[in-house]
Structure 1
Amino acid sequence: MPVPSPHSPDPLDLPLKLWLARVAHGVSPSSLALAYADWFNHALASPSHQARLSASALRKWLAWLAYARHAWHGDCPLCVAPAGNDKRFDPPEWGRPPFSILAQGFLLQEQWWQEAMTGVQGVSAHHQDVAAFATRQWLDMWSPSNFVASNPQVLAETWRRGGMNLAEGAANWARDAMAVLSDGPPRGVEDFVPGRATALTPGKVVFRNSLVELIQYEPATPKVWAEPVLVVPSWIMKFYILDLTPGDSLVEYLVSQGHTVFMVSWRNPGSADRELGMDDYLQLGVMEAIAAVRRAVPGARVHAAGYCLGGTLLAIGAALLGGRRDNPLASVSLLAAQTDFHEPGELGLFIDESQIAFLESVMAEHGYLDGRQMAGAFQLINSKDLVWSKLVHEYLMGAQSPMTAMRAWNADATRLPARMHSEYLRRLYLHNDLAEGRYTAQGQAVRLDAIDLPMFVVATQRDHVSPWRSVYKVLGAVRSPVTMALASGGHNVGIVSPPGGPMADPQASFRLASHGVGQAPADPDAWLRATAARRGSWWPAWSKWLAGHSGARVKPPALRPLLDGGAPVAAPGTYVLQK
């Protein structure tokens, strides 16, 4: 019987903490308070910082007044340009006064607050980042683009349509509010059910345990490479992002290139699974899947690939198997997967002792963290695109964003068992045990330098979840020859980057370089400067690499009925349909 987690919250604390969680949408008020207290106390004791801010405020005020005076008389140089990823004021309507004056005033204010929240001597780096991030979120609420009277595009649309856009926007808001209050799915996701519109690559479930189903896909070529490919997706998402729609499916592409593909599909856990931990996910999700693939394709070693946290878990498993003469793995591929969490990007803003303890209290009620609560953190990280642009587009302009396969998948949230979620936040993110050699699994020490198999590592340039420089660190941690690919795009779109099909991006590019053991540059930016960009998708490069580390082509293996008690279930299986 599992031993209860040592970090279980006190039952007496739960009512208050659960109320706070609902009010604060899962963000620890104590974590924010500590960050702002650290900043405020040190800023108060720093007259030099106060003087710099006063001087900066005066310069910005005078620059804005000068701009406001000259903007009415024609072209006038901007006081400040938006950040490269800020598209709010790009439309030409924002280039004319008075709206250009409003936009410049807002951007100057944003710039001043960034100066105010950073560079205060004595403030811890984490508290500085948290306070600066929270301040940016607060300022973004008051952007002139978010209000009818100060957004020229909304005003023009309101005049053109006689205010119908605002009425339709109110209807859109009411529809979304009802979906949130009723805990229902967004409109349109019913058109993208796995097995009917997504996850359509033919196959069968050939293995099942209490945590995963293993899908074997049907061959699409007369002969296949001798070594099968096992894909381990993250358990915080449904697997079918990698088998999205015909033409946009990584699984479909690999099968078309002569690879025998197996996919792990995680079960959506419930309250009874609260004590499932990282070791359970490793054993049931990785080790047993590898063993099942070996039974399905006897005598063949396995090309194992892991996406996001699935890649982290696969790296742990590969390290435990490393150095063995009977190692069942032929290679390891990590797709947007971190093994070093020292610099986890903006997601690290939500990782400290206060925040984790707060989440543990939230999870104590049901024994799991609902995936929608985690989705809220991702929305905050990219709020300009995921929150405020939606407000303008759907609630002020009155438009309706069409549901897509990717958006429907993103809304198909999964739950995370309390023990596992606490363990991976503490051991991986907070303490960075895996990279620093303190991680243990199944009673054994896990050392990444035990991995000596050929590796293919993919990172994406605009990844907010697994920043590419953090992903790159695995090159210095393993004793493997590594091929590194850096793809354009973000955490999802950069990985789902088909060479053709509806989602194919004509602007897609990637960088690719191969390195012998210990030969990759230690500095990721040095690697970036030395590696030329190539147009197109990275998928063909990976397929070619897999083929180059495979044996001869052979007759496709049969889809064997490995399940106890009956014939295999057709793909995408049953676990992926659980709500």
Structure 2
Amino acid sequence: MKNIILSGSAEEIGKQLQESYDRMCSSTQKWMEMLQYDPYPQTGLSPKEVVWRKNKARLYRYVSPSGHQHKVPILIIYALINKPYILDLTPGMSLIEHLLECGFDIFLLDWGDFDWEDRELSYGNLVNDYIARAVQKTLLTSGSDELTMLGYCMGGTMTSMYAGLYPQERIKNIVLLSAPIDFSDAGTSSLWLNSPDYDADRIVDTFQLVPKDFIDIGVKMLRPVNNYIGTYTRLWRSIDEDNPVIAWKALNKWVNDNINFPGEAYRQWIKDLYQENKLVKKQFSLQGQTVDLARITSNLLVMAGENDHLVMTAQAQAALDYMSSSDKSYYEFPVGHGGLVFGNYAKKNVYPVMSEWLKQRSN
């Protein structure tokens, strides 16, 4: 609650205290009702159509409200452990909506929900059989000779894997948002995952398909107070101060809407990247092909959050050191991991920087 300044006679002070107490009770009641009964809002509402599919994955092309003003389409590659609608959360708070309004032709690869039959998928499968084909379909559907690849979080790492294998594919621009490239120091994640007792082989051999709850709890325990308590105190404060809560509801829906992690890909993610840092050492191979980041010459935009506890700024900034692009740009913003793609700050500060950079390199 806001600070209460008491003044006046004893009777007036008593009245002020009673009003404050009544307000607190009212806010708490609304808070409890919302947590128990209030439905999740609709998300991912920007119109789109499926232009290609493989198993559970879907390649979407978004419907542009004002036509395509820029020649080079954008293919968005998302991570494996959450749903991609964080990029199109709600109308008025959507990176995809912003890029569409700027006249870009937007495609997005949605991995779908991994299930038991997907447990043996590796990054070799995901890059060669899914991303490579999505790139081809994007070029064919858009009628363009070149494209921009935009990767968020692990999606950015996978974009870099693809570009390091297929530099001849006409990737004009690469945009990496909070994408870990150098895993030598991943903050709290390194302390946990590099422990001698953290055995990725044993985890994968036990689960085969790593459960979404296992991943979700692991991520949230990196900041347990903020994730388990702070989330709900922020909602209570919004209610008490009579601020809109639709954004909180939409974000909370996304945070808890996780997917299972294919076991073989998880094994590579932990062992080859977090524990052995093979990507920047030119030791990371996909189906017998070595990923060489130095082969990447596309125009490069890297964006990171100063307060990101999942991907350290140095992990993201390393892309500029290991990729051979002559046109390189790097921006840091005073936000956390999600703050680059969601929230008022992102809308006012991050989105315009990204779209302006792309406009200058998409015709």
TM-score bracket, shorter-length normalisation: 0.7 to 0.9
Where structure 2 has 5 or more consecutive residues not aligned to the other structure, the ranges are 5-16
Structure 2 CA distance for aligned equivalents of residues 390 and 293 of structure 1 = 38
When residues 346 and 207 of structure 1 are mapped into structure 2, their CA distance, relative to the original with a 3 A threshold, is same
| 1:504 paired to 2:316 | no
Contact (CA 8 Å) 2:150, 2:174: kept in 1 or not?
yes
| 1:377 paired to 2:218 | yes
Structure 2 CA distance for aligned equivalents of residues 408 and 421 of structure 1 = 24
CA-to-aligned-CA distance 1:547-576 (integer Å, 9 cap, x gap): 21122xxxxxxxxxxxxxxxxxxxxxxxxx
When residues 218 and 188 of structure 1 are mapped into structure 2, their CA distance, relative to the original with a 3 A threshold, is farther
Structure 2 CA distance for aligned equivalents of residues 278 and 218 of structure 1 = 30
Contact (CA 8 Å) 1:274, 1:417: kept in 2 or not?
yes
Identify which of 473, 494, 502 aligns with 2:340. 494
When residues 458 and 276 of structure 1 are mapped into structure 2, their CA distance, relative to the original with a 3 A threshold, is same
When residues 394 and 332 of structure 1 are mapped into structure 2, their CA distance, relative to the original with a 3 A threshold, is closer
Identify which of 199, 216, 229 aligns with 2:44. 199
Equivalences for 1:257-336 in 2 at 5 Å?
257-322=102-167, 324=168, 327-336=169-178
Structure 2 CA distance for aligned equivalents of residues 198 and 221 of structure 1 = 22
Structure 2 CA distance for aligned equivalents of residues 168 and 360 of structure 1 = 47
Aligned AA for 1:491? Answer: H
When residues 476 and 384 of structure 1 are mapped into structure 2, their CA distance, relative to the original with a 3 A threshold, is same
| 1:448 paired to 2:260 | no
Structure 2 CA distance for aligned equivalents of residues 383 and 390 of structure 1 = 10
SS at match of 2:344: coil
Contact (CA 8 Å) 2:204, 2:266: kept in 1 or not?
no
SS at match of 1:306: strand
Aligned AA for 1:191? Answer: Y
| 1:250 paired to 2:250 | no
Aligned AA for 2:160? Answer: A
Where structure 1 has 5 or more consecutive residues not aligned to the other structure, the ranges are 1-89, 94-155, 176-185, 497-502, 510-535, 552-579
SS at match of 1:489: coil
Structure 1 CA distance for aligned equivalents of residues 193 and 94 of structure 2 = 33
Contact (CA 8 Å) 1:211, 1:284: kept in 2 or not?
no
Radius of gyration: which is bigger?
Answer: 1
Structure 1 CA distance for aligned equivalents of residues 233 and 163 of structure 2 = 47
CA-to-aligned-CA distance 1:81-130 (integer Å, 9 cap, x gap): xxxxxxxxx9979xxxxxxxxxxxxxxxxxxxxxxxxxxxxxxxxxxxxx
Contact (CA 8 Å) 2:210, 2:262: kept in 1 or not?
yes
For residue 548 of structure 1, what is the aligned residue in structure 2?
A: 360
For residue 230 of structure 1, what is the aligned residue in structure 2?
A: 75
- CA apart distance, 1:363: 4.5
Contact (CA 8 Å) 1:270, 1:367: kept in 2 or not?
no
Structure 2 CA distance for aligned equivalents of residues 164 and 424 of structure 1 = 47
Identity within the alignment, %: 22
| 1:538 paired to 2:350 | yes
Contact (CA 8 Å) 1:290, 1:328: kept in 2 or not?
no
For residue 315 of structure 2, what is the aligned residue in structure 1?
A: 470
SS at match of 2:318: helix
Equivalences for 1:65-144 in 2 at 5 Å?
none
Contact (CA 8 Å) 1:211, 1:285: kept in 2 or not?
no
CA-to-aligned-CA distance 1:262-281 (integer Å, 9 cap, x gap): 01101211122211111111
Structure 2 CA distance for aligned equivalents of residues 384 and 354 of structure 1 = 26
When residues 200 and 382 of structure 1 are mapped into structure 2, their CA distance, relative to the original with a 3 A threshold, is same
When residues 279 and 406 of structure 1 are mapped into structure 2, their CA distance, relative to the original with a 3 A threshold, is same
CA-to-aligned-CA distance 1:36-90 (integer Å, 9 cap, x gap): xxxxxxxxxxxxxxxxxxxxxxxxxxxxxxxxxxxxxxxxxxxxxxxxxxxxxx9
SS at match of 2:270: helix
Contact (CA 8 Å) 1:356, 1:426: kept in 2 or not?
no
CA-to-aligned-CA distance 1:342-399 (integer Å, 9 cap, x gap): 1112122221264542x5544445422222222222322222322344687899xxx9
Contact (CA 8 Å) 1:451, 1:479: kept in 2 or not?
yes
Contact (CA 8 Å) 1:273, 1:367: kept in 2 or not?
no
Structure 2 CA distance for aligned equivalents of residues 295 and 189 of structure 1 = 43
Aligned AA for 1:493? Answer: G
Aligned AA for 1:380? Answer: M
- CA apart distance, 1:253: 0.7
Contact (CA 8 Å) 1:356, 1:422: kept in 2 or not?
no
For residue 435 of structure 1, what is the aligned residue in structure 2?
A: 280
Equivalences for 1:53-64 in 2 at 5 Å?
none
Aligned AA for 2:330? Answer: M
When residues 351 and 405 of structure 1 are mapped into structure 2, their CA distance, relative to the original with a 3 A threshold, is same
Aligned AA for 2:40? Answer: D
Number of residue-to-residue matches in the alignment = 340
Q: How much is the aligned-residue C-alpha RMSD, in angstroms? A: 3.2
- CA apart distance, 1:328: 2.1
Which moves more between the two structures, 292-301 or 235-244? Answer: 292-301
Contact (CA 8 Å) 2:71, 2:144: kept in 1 or not?
no
Contact (CA 8 Å) 2:75, 2:108: kept in 1 or not?
yes
Give me the TM-score of the superposition, normalised by structure 2.
0.84
Structure 2 CA distance for aligned equivalents of residues 441 and 364 of structure 1 = 20
Structure 1 CA distance for aligned equivalents of residues 285 and 25 of structure 2 = 60
Aligned AA for 1:548? Answer: Q
For residue 193 of structure 2, what is the aligned residue in structure 1?
A: 351
Structure 1 CA distance for aligned equivalents of residues 86 and 255 of structure 2 = 9
Structure 2 CA distance for aligned equivalents of residues 300 and 293 of structure 1 = 10
- CA apart distance, 1:540: 1.4
CA-to-aligned-CA distance 1:452-506 (integer Å, 9 cap, x gap): 111011101110111112211111111112111112211012322xxxxxx423x
Identify which of 319, 331, 343 aligns with 1:485. 331
Contact (CA 8 Å) 2:182, 2:314: kept in 1 or not?
no
For residue 10 of structure 2, what is the aligned residue in structure 1?
A: none
- CA apart distance, 1:223: 4.2
SS at match of 2:265: helix
